Structure 1
Amino acid sequence: MSDAQLTDFPSLFSLKGKVAIVTGGSRGLGLSAASALLQAGATKVFISSRKAKACDAACKELNALPGLAPGARAISVPADSSTLEGVKSLVEAVKKQTEHVDILLANASASWGAPFESHPDEAFAKVMDLNVRGVFNLVRECAPLLGKCGTIADPSRVLITVSVAGLGIGTLGKNGTYGYSASKAAAIHLGRNLAIELGPRHITVNSICPGF
């Protein structure tokens, strides 16, 4: 039974002192991830989404969690990650409070369901702008902050939230998510390219594919 007794569990997985950014962090998967980062020992977790009130509410909830490390806190940095201007404003807000970032979770995402025959062009563009262009711009603009602290032994991390819809077939029919599926497939391949580009800078890039 001795193998079942983990006497120092935090040593197996600890983010003590790490600084993280979570886009789309005010609800859903992003909020859950932000909670996990803080509870694993992260010192600062920047919460970003389009709505300032949602970011503020999420930070209030996160900062009230029991057992956080001394001084650990979630910080609200609202921004629209679908535009380059929004991404730059996010990074500038982060720079005012830290000189480096250890973890970037590119989680912000949009979807749209509509029949094939009447699927709006503007909807397709909106989804691609946030789910693909937004991810690329976010990683590119954050790369200098991520590159300041990564080492071979302890690299900085980029995680991209994609979807099983990017691996197979998404929703079809009257609520077809054609743009969403295409954007997630593109984001997966983008992640592969970024992994090769940023690996020599001691920054790893991985995509995660949630699904039902």
Structure 2
Amino acid sequence: MNLMDQHALVTGAGSGVGLAIAQQLDAQGCWLTLCGRNEAPLKQLAASLRNAQFVICDVTDRASLDAALSKARDKFGPFSIAIANAGSAEARPFIKLSQQDWQDAMGVNLNGCFNTFQAVLPDLLAQGVGRLIAVSSTAGLRGYKYASAYSAAKHGVIGLVKSLAIELGPKNITTNAVCPGFTDTPMLQRSIEQIMQATSVDRQQAEQQLLKDNPIGRFTQTEEVAAAVVFMCQTAACNGHALRLDGGAL
């Protein structure tokens, strides 16, 4: 797919991976709708890009999302690309998970992906081409201690991606997931601070705990995740894939 003048939706675009994806799609010539819950970072990002607008909504609220996307279409037309990036993670032992903790993890990480894909799919079907891409995680490919709800949700995202790849591939719509490992984002920095507080280690020691099984010895960069997303947008040969971006972590 030639990305010039394609209308792309990026959820959770205000920081981290979402911000990097928006910047690289902008460089490819896309028209961008940036979606998130906090206006200030979205407004700042939109102002820095070539052709971008922002909408405020919560991807867990389908009515809110549908209303926001209807408004976005008024300016840039139908969508042809959707990047379901919005997500959150909380570390907690399974025995201490509340019902609300579980519902919250499913809400943004899995239901938010479902809502995003389904909300834009009529546009893609009408045009006869499109790209659906989820930002999952290596937690969607394996388990992590104290991350059972997050891991379960991200496994669900990959199941959704693989099913849609089979269902929608014949309609010239591809569906893929990127699965970053520990990535240098504000979310990771909060995790590092939690480790420091819980274990009384310094920042370098906390980082090494997370990198001990990583052969390249560093965190994945947001720009690397964004580059993989751009590739998935450009080629139809990549479909139903869950791409690990973790430096070959064991």
TM range (shorter): 0.7 to 0.9
CA apart distance, 1:109: 0.7
Output the CA distance in 2 between the equivalents of 1:85 and 1:111. Answer: 24
Pair 1:165-2:139 in alignment: yes
Pair 1:190-2:190 in alignment: no
Partner of 1:208: 178
Partner of 1:177: 147
Output the CA distance in 1 between the equivalents of 2:39 and 2:96. Answer: 33
Output the CA distance in 2 between the equivalents of 1:112 and 1:94. Answer: 31
Q: 2:39 aligns with which of 48, 52, 63?
A: 52
User: Superposed, which structure 2 residues align to 1:18-57 within 5 Å?
Assistant: 18-42=6-30, 44-57=31-44
Partner of 2:197: none
SS in 2 for 1:25: coil
**Aligned 8 A contact 1:100 1:148 in 2:** no
Residue by residue over 1:117-144, the C-alpha shift from the partner in whole angstroms, topping out at 9 and shown as x without a partner, is 2122211101101111121121111111
Residue type matched to 1:40 in 2?
Q
User: Superposed, which structure 2 residues align to 1:134-145 within 5 Å?
Assistant: 134-145=112-123
Distance 1:142 1:14, change over 3 A: closer
Return the TM-score normalized by structure 2: 0.69
**Aligned 8 A contact 1:167 1:185 in 2:** yes
**Aligned 8 A contact 1:192 1:205 in 2:** yes
Residue type matched to 2:108 in 1?
L
- Structure 1: tracts of 5 or more residues without a match: 1-12, 64-71
Q: 2:55 aligns with which of 77, 81, 84?
A: 77
Residue type matched to 1:211 in 2?
G
**Aligned 8 A contact 1:47 1:76 in 2:** yes
**Aligned 8 A contact 1:159 1:207 in 2:** yes
What count of residue pairs does the alignment treat as equivalent? 182
Residue type matched to 1:130 in 2?
V
**Aligned 8 A contact 2:73 2:79 in 1:** no
Output the CA distance in 2 between the equivalents of 1:46 and 1:203. Answer: 20
Return the TM-score normalized by structure 1: 0.80
Partner of 1:7: none
Residue type matched to 1:50 in 2?
R
Higher helix share: 2
- Structure with more relative contact order (C-alpha pairs < 8 Å, separation 6 or more): 2
SS in 2 for 1:110: coil
Output the CA distance in 2 between the equivalents of 1:32 and 1:168. Answer: 25
Aligned-residue CA RMSD (Å) = 1.6
CA apart distance, 1:25: 0.7
Partner of 2:84: 106
CA apart distance, 1:37: 0.2
**Aligned 8 A contact 1:83 1:130 in 2:** no
Deviating more after overlay: 127-136 vs 179-188: 127-136
Q: 1:146 aligns with which of 124, 140, 153?
A: 124
